[in-house]
Amino acid sequence: MTAPLEDLERRVALVAELTRTDTDILGSHLEGPFLDLAHHGAHEPSLLRHPDPAAVERLLEAGEGTVRQVTLAPELPGGLDAIRRIVAAGAAAAVGHTNADGTMAAAAFDAGATILTHAFNAMRGIHHRDPGPVLAAAADHRVFLEGVADGVHLHPQVIRLLFDTAPGRVVLVTDAMAAAGSGDGDYDLGAVAVTVTDGVARTRATGSIAGSTLTQDQALRISVAAGAALPDAVLALTATPAQAIGCGEEFGRLAPGFAADAVLLDAELTVQHVWAD
């Protein structure tokens, strides 16, 4: 989450340290602070900033090579150059929390961005004369499209639309915050106060969606119920996200040489057993 630059440096450094001892921690996703003010969502607006080279470099250096993904608004001053630097550092650059139109999104993808963060959320929608970043991403086979399949971030018909328009490139993510696996109530999401009611997290100040309480088994069931084929939905939870962040040779498949993690589901797609490591 967006925070003062000094705090973000400490956090990515902490994650870098944890990757050396915890095999299930792969690195950091910096969702901010280089976001569009008008599409700040649950991020604290006063902490947003332009992706100037010094700030980008500070965060990448603090991560010691463990920053996996950086989401930014490419239309900000320095945005395209920041994408090039992020990719050069071995991280995935992602477009999100943005006012980019389709042309600017395409320029970001040409600069090296390969992920659309939380498709449809905190960005322009699809209009018949202004297709926006979602269709720009769907048309570019280099790009993965994240979807939060909780029935709140995306209507079931839109979940189906993602799978139909970008086969093999859908990445199901939870965007989960601290309330996942817990009950309704008040929580903090970075610098923002959040209330969870009936499992839906919203900021107290504005009512914006503030992450989710989604777990990936729920995302699987919701996607299949929305019309996604089961093999496609499973792919979007396993091999595709691993590929999107550069871990496709280690994670996401049941095959020799890959991480020995597995989940057993029953016919209703509910979790029966988990094997880790």
* 227 is a domain residue: no
* 16 is a domain residue: yes
For the chain, give the number of residues.
277
Check whether 94 has a pLDDT greater than 90.
Answer: yes
Q: Give catalytic status of residue 81 as yes or no.
A: no
- Domain of residue 123, CATH code: 3.20.20.140
Q: How confident is the model at residue 205 (pLDDT cuts 50, 70, 90)?
A: confident
Check whether 23 has a pLDDT greater than 90.
Answer: no
Q: What pLDDT score was predicted for residue 78?
A: 98
* 189 is a domain residue: no
User: Which of 36, 140, 150, 175 does the annotation list as catalytic?
Assistant: 175
Helix, strand, coil proportions of the chain in percent (round to 5)? 35, 20, 45
* 46 is a domain residue: yes
Check whether 24 has a pLDDT greater than 90.
Answer: no
- Domain residue limits at 69: 1-142
In DSSP terms, 196 is beta-bridged to: 185, 201
* 85 is a domain residue: yes
Q: What pLDDT score was predicted for residue 190?
A: 80
What Rg do the C-alpha atoms of the chain give, in angstroms?
18
Return the structure tokens found at 171: 């990445």
Amino acid (1-letter code) at residue 186: D
Higher pLDDT, 210 or 8: 8
Domain count, the chain: 1
pLDDT in tens, 148-194: 999 999 999 999 999 999 999 999 999 999 889 898 999 988 878 99
Q: What pLDDT score was predicted for residue 234?
A: 98
Q: What pLDDT score was predicted for residue 245?
A: 97
**pLDDT, mean of residues 84-90:** 98
* 208 is a domain residue: no
Residue-averaged pLDDT of the chain: 96
Spatial distance between the Cα atoms of 132 and 253, rounded to a whole number of angstroms: 33
pLDDT in tens, 31-76: 999 999 999 999 999 999 999 999 999 999 999 999 999 999 999 9
Lowest mean pLDDT among 34-43, 68-77, 206-215, 229-238: 206-215
State the pTM of this model. 0.96
Report residue 113 CA to chain centroid gap: 13
Spatial distance between the Cα atoms of 193 and 4, rounded to a whole number of angstroms: 17
